[in-house]
A and B are shown apart, each in its own frame.
Chain A
Amino acid sequence: MTKHEIEITVNGRKRRLTVKPNDLLLNVIREDLVLTGTKYGCGIGECAACTVLMEGKPVLACMILAVAAHGKNITTIEGLADGDKLVPVQQAFIDHGAIQCGFCTPGMVLTSHALLNENPDPSEEEIRDYLRGNYCRCTGYTAIVKAVQSCAKKNQ
């Protein structure tokens, strides 16, 4: 199979990779870059456990070919905090008990972070709607919604 050279910026670092045309961004992130915080939950775009930010927007890494990420800026969950300095929504998830098994957490946190960047003052309805593609089987979503709400500008 022909191989492609791609260059992507992941968590601020330029990475050059050789990939097959059918390699998924999810597998490249997890296997080649060993950033295992991005999760496999379904592989076909139905759970959002594999969410990463591409140019700041949440995308599903299992639905994107690695070649299509060429030249793009990607943030995975590992790249969100600055060392031990968490972004507000990460801290809020911890404080509100919004993390149980934690398997949805990377996707949830990245999606919530993107929402707050787009809309610093989301209503409860807007939060639920923005997170509707992110499955969580453990929490019942209440604590997650509260965590995101606590980061809204009006609550700061």
Chain B
Amino acid sequence: MSAMFKLVGKPAPRHDAWAKAKGDQLYSDDFTMPGMLYGKALRSKYPAAIIKSIDTSKAKALPGVHAVLTAKDVPMNVEISKFGQMKDVGGGFEGLYKVLADGKVRFKGEAIALVAAETEELAEEACRLIEVDYEVQPGVFDPEEALKPGAYIVSSDEGENESNLIMESHINKGDVEKAFAEADVIVENEYRVPPVDHAYLETEGGVAWVDDNGVITMRVGTQVLEHYRTIAKVMGLPQNKVRNMSVPMGGGFGGKEDITVETFLCLLANATKRPVKMVWSREESLEVHSKRHPEILRYKTAATKDGKITAQKVEIIMDGGGYKLLTGWVQMYSTVNAPGCYNIPNVKVDSYSALTNNTPSSANRGFGCCQANFASELQMDELAAKLGMSPLEIRLKNCLRNGDEICTGFIPQGHIALEEIAKKAWEGLEATGPKPDYVDGKKIGRGLAIGMMSYGRLTFMHDSSRVGLRIELDGSVTLRAGVPDLGGGQASVLCQIVAEELGIPMEKVHPYIMDTHLTPLCGTTTATRQLYMSGNAALVTVKVLKERIIKKAAEMLDAKPEEVQLINEKACLINNPLKSVPFVQVVGALSNDGVELFHEGQFNAPFTDVPNLHDMKGRIWPDFTYSAHAVEVAVDEETGKFEVRKVVLCYDVGKAINKNSCEGQLEGGCVYNQGYVTENMGWENGITKARSFAEYLIPTAVDAPEIETIMVESGGGLGPYGAKGVGEPADNSIAPAIVNAIYDAVGVRLKEMPVTPEKLLKAIQEKNK
């Protein structure tokens, strides 16, 4: 079958690679317009305070200032964000979205007022002239404290102002207490994982203006084009009067999934009737945009003496920060993934999320999954150590296999390759040679972790995607898709699929993407869903046109449609390729016949009902991608510093449609969450200490390890040609593999990230005492 592919499976350069290599690609910050003003947000000095009054008169009086807006200037300052889904989910999932702070300030850096002025300096000065009278509040910064009776209440908004609890959810399968009573061995631990910044190189920004027909138009890179609906609502406008002609992002990783500058820009452009630009500084970006959820995870695992896990009991407390945003959804991921990728008969999970006065938590590549994976994979290693089993053995003994059910009772339809990939990763690392004890005076250790993560959105959100195609009379194709491209090749792969099906070169398919007025909506570039959803939508769409072309070609070739194929820009007989007619001629003939040469098709994911949060059962996602990371680290026992030397990673990607893109995701995800182990926001009582890249250290080319990528192509995914999604699963199991390798090297297992040299050194010293 695969031998038949011309383009699919090849390492195809993406359509935008040339522009990016030459510096011609435009991003959100690269647009200037005549008469353009600069926007700035005045941000809260305190993480918790009551705003008693705001005086903007001095700022307004400053020459060159065109608008100063506060909450009372926003037509609907508080809205329930739908986060781009088509369906109203309810059940506590939709988060409150507030444009500008009023009542209580809920985190430090929350926007209180907006300014538009003729220069950036003037806008900054105007912000300084705004007088805010704060009544500082004690605040609450620990999610467990926030959930106690009598805790400081973070919100002053209706529906949220009685308690800080955002959501609780539970899974109950079998009887854990009975299993603990009968267990040969029990492992019990508490884990803590920190907030993470996305640290995309491009900060949040864009421009907006009111066009000649009164449409508020913006050019803002976002992972969710469908936010135009929330923006319209907030502005009191019909949805067709707000348009985002979006641009490719300089990285997203979930950080551009919530609204960033869009509403601010639209409000300012509307108020001034002039184009307005706003770009956040790095400091602003680090302080105010949402982070990965910090979590406390308490595990109790029971097993038999031959290593079969009989029960997993987990309690999770999540820090949602100042606003709910996507916490409820992230919580689904943490909760259902808490037991790990194992077949366990008795499971109990109880999860709680709380508002605090920290920076809000929301989407970050891995979306609740990598928190649970970290904890469950450390738990596995400790169990293995206790039983004298190898890290591979314990995993092979317990990992999910085809036909097994996960903790909600759902049996995944896609292929489960955990056994194969765990072996391949571990054996791949062993094949690099026997583990040395020391290299350059540093202690060497090896570790393994495996994982699973869904691709495609939660099935109760009733997800769909659309793609439009038009065949031009010269045989080229215009593809229209509202597919936000954050750098993963989201648009390019659609062209590859269409070109494959039509038997034309990829360059002949031109993508026009991300324009809410002109492109069919593809849904969000989140949840590792674009290849699965929009890839299938492209396939559904192109097949309709392909059928028309083949039917006409068959007529022209005097054959039956099933005898005709499209290849090398020709329609030819499968059995006699010499009998052919050029693709462009068939297109001309169809046009002449008055047959439509365009089509817009839709693909729907499986739909389910919202689960009962007190006892979650059934299908929560379409399918899963499985990961394995085997890692070698070197630890300096004198300083507590460590380096990641080698990684062998193995994934079942289903089908690698674009080999380069697929590999790139896996390598990129690996290093992204290598950073999970060490990156440090330095939160203290709602204050972010890491306010620059000098303090928030992400991995460099020197820190990044040598990576060997093994891709298994089972064809067992639900995406086009059996592909699975890899964008987020790509960062799933690397962090625990690193921490497990550190244990292998020096015999201490740090259960709290970030793993700083100080912490590691202290643990080593304590152990050696």
Please give the residue numbers on chain A whose beta carbons come within 8 Å of chain B beta carbons, in ascending order. Answer: 31, 34-44, 46-47, 49, 76-78, 80-81, 86, 90-91, 93-97, 99-106, 109, 127-129, 131-145
Is the Cβ of A97 less than 8 Å from the Cβ of B201?
no
Q: List 12 A–B pairs whose Cβ atoms lie within 8 Å, in order of A's numbering.
A: A39-B201, A40-B203, A77-B23, A81-B21, A97-B663, A100-B251, A102-B19, A103-B200, A135-B693, A140-B667, A140-B672, A142-B706
Is the Cβ of A140 less than 8 Å from the Cβ of B251?
no
What are the residues of chain B within 8 A of A128 when measuring CB–CB?
701-702, 704
Cβ 8 A contact of A137, one of B22, B23, B201, B692: B201
What are the residues of chain B within 8 A of A80 when measuring CB–CB?
22-23
What are the residues of chain B within 8 A of A142 when measuring CB–CB?
667, 704, 706-707, 709
Closest B residue to A134 by CB, please name it: B701
How many Å from the CB of B673 to the closest CB on chain A? 10
Known contacts A76-B23, A101-B201; 8 further A-B pairs (Cβ under 8 A): A34-B32, A44-B694, A94-B17, A103-B250, A129-B701, A137-B200, A139-B668, A143-B667
What are the residues of chain B within 8 A of A145 when measuring CB–CB?
701
Is the Cβ of A105 less than 8 Å from the Cβ of B20?
yes
Measured in the bound complex, the distance between the Cα atoms of B700 and A141 in whole Å is 8
How many Å from the CB of A37 to the closest CB on chain B? 2
What are the residues of chain B within 8 A of A38 when measuring CB–CB?
23
Closest A residue to B693 by CB, please name it: A46
Cβ 8 A contact of B21, one of A43, A93, A139: A93
Is the Cβ of A37 less than 8 Å from the Cβ of B23?
yes
Closest A residue to B20 by CB, please name it: A102
Residue from B20, B32, B281 whose CB has the most chain A CB atoms within 10 Å: B20
Residue interface bits B699-716, CB-to-A below 8 A is 1, else 0:
011101011010000000
How many Å from the CB of B302 to the closest CB on chain A? 37
Cβ 8 A contact of A101, one of B11, B200, B282: B200
Segment of B124-132, B206-214, B260-268, B486-494 in the binding face: B486-494
Is the Cβ of B23 less than 8 Å from the Cβ of A78?
yes
- Quick check: is B660 within 8 A (CB to CB) of the other chain? yes
Measured in the bound complex, the distance between the Cα atoms of B1 and A59 in whole Å is 51
What are the residues of chain B within 8 A of A133 when measuring CB–CB?
700
Q: What is the interface of chain B mostly: helix, strand, loop, or mixed? A: loop
Cβ 8 A contact of B487, one of A86, A90, A100: A100
Residue from A38, A95, A129, A139 whose CB has the most chain B CB atoms within 10 Å: A139
- Quick check: is B438 within 8 A (CB to CB) of the other chain? no
CB-contacts of B658-709 with A (<8 A) = 659-661, 663-664, 667-672, 692-694, 698, 700-702, 704, 706-707, 709
Cβ 8 A contact of B253, one of A86, A134, A136, A137: A137
A-B contact count (CB 8 A): 174
How many Å from the CB of B697 to the closest CB on chain A? 10
Is the Cβ of A36 less than 8 Å from the Cβ of B26?
yes
Measured in the bound complex, the distance between the Cα atoms of B16 and A43 in whole Å is 26
What are the residues of chain B within 8 A of A86 when measuring CB–CB?
18, 21-22
What are the residues of chain A within 8 A of B488 when measuring CB–CB?
100
What are the residues of chain B within 8 A of A144 when measuring CB–CB?
701
Is the Cβ of B250 less than 8 Å from the Cβ of A140?
no
Is the Cβ of B21 less than 8 Å from the Cβ of A100?
no
How many Å from the CB of A11 to the closest CB on chain B? 11
How many Å from the CB of B309 to the closest CB on chain A? 32
Measured in the bound complex, the distance between the Cα atoms of B671 and A37 in whole Å is 25
Interface residues on B, range: 35 or more
Residue interface bits B282-297, CB-to-A below 8 A is 1, else 0:
1000000000000000
- Quick check: is B73 within 8 A (CB to CB) of the other chain? no
Is the Cβ of B201 less than 8 Å from the Cβ of A139?
no
Measured in the bound complex, the distance between the Cα atoms of B709 and A145 in whole Å is 15
Measured in the bound complex, the distance between the Cα atoms of B16 and A97 in whole Å is 11
- Quick check: is B30 within 8 A (CB to CB) of the other chain? yes
Closest B residue to A143 by CB, please name it: B664
Closest B residue to A40 by CB, please name it: B29
Closest A residue to B670 by CB, please name it: A140
- Quick check: is B27 within 8 A (CB to CB) of the other chain? yes
Cβ 8 A contact of A100, one of B13, B32, B664, B704: B664
- Quick check: is B475 within 8 A (CB to CB) of the other chain? no
Measured in the bound complex, the distance between the Cα atoms of B26 and A77 in whole Å is 13
Is the Cβ of B701 less than 8 Å from the Cβ of A132?
yes
Closest A residue to B485 by CB, please name it: A101
Is the Cβ of A42 less than 8 Å from the Cβ of B282?
yes
What are the residues of chain B within 8 A of A140 when measuring CB–CB?
664, 667-672, 704, 707
What are the residues of chain B within 8 A of A37 when measuring CB–CB?
22-24
Measured in the bound complex, the distance between the Cα atoms of B32 and A109 in whole Å is 25
Is the Cβ of A42 less than 8 Å from the Cβ of B693?
yes
What are the residues of chain A within 8 A of B282 when measuring CB–CB?
41-44, 46-47
Measured in the bound complex, the distance between the Cα atoms of B21 and A144 in whole Å is 12
Is the Cβ of B21 less than 8 Å from the Cβ of A137?
no
Cβ 8 A contact of A97, one of B200, B661, B672, B701: B661
Is the Cβ of B13 less than 8 Å from the Cβ of A94?
yes
What are the residues of chain A within 8 A of B16 when measuring CB–CB?
102
What are the residues of chain B within 8 A of A136 when measuring CB–CB?
201, 701
Is the Cβ of A43 less than 8 Å from the Cβ of B281?
yes
Is the Cβ of A90 less than 8 Å from the Cβ of B672?
no
Is the Cβ of A101 less than 8 Å from the Cβ of B698?
no
Is the Cβ of A94 less than 8 Å from the Cβ of B18?
yes
What are the residues of chain A within 8 A of B14 when measuring CB–CB?
99
Measured in the bound complex, the distance between the Cα atoms of B383 and A110 in whole Å is 49
How many Å from the CB of B125 to the closest CB on chain A? 15
Is the Cβ of A47 less than 8 Å from the Cβ of B701?
no
- Quick check: is B279 within 8 A (CB to CB) of the other chain? yes
- Quick check: is B363 within 8 A (CB to CB) of the other chain? no
Residue from B16, B249, B251, B707 whose CB has the most chain A CB atoms within 10 Å: B251
How many Å from the CB of B249 to the closest CB on chain A? 6
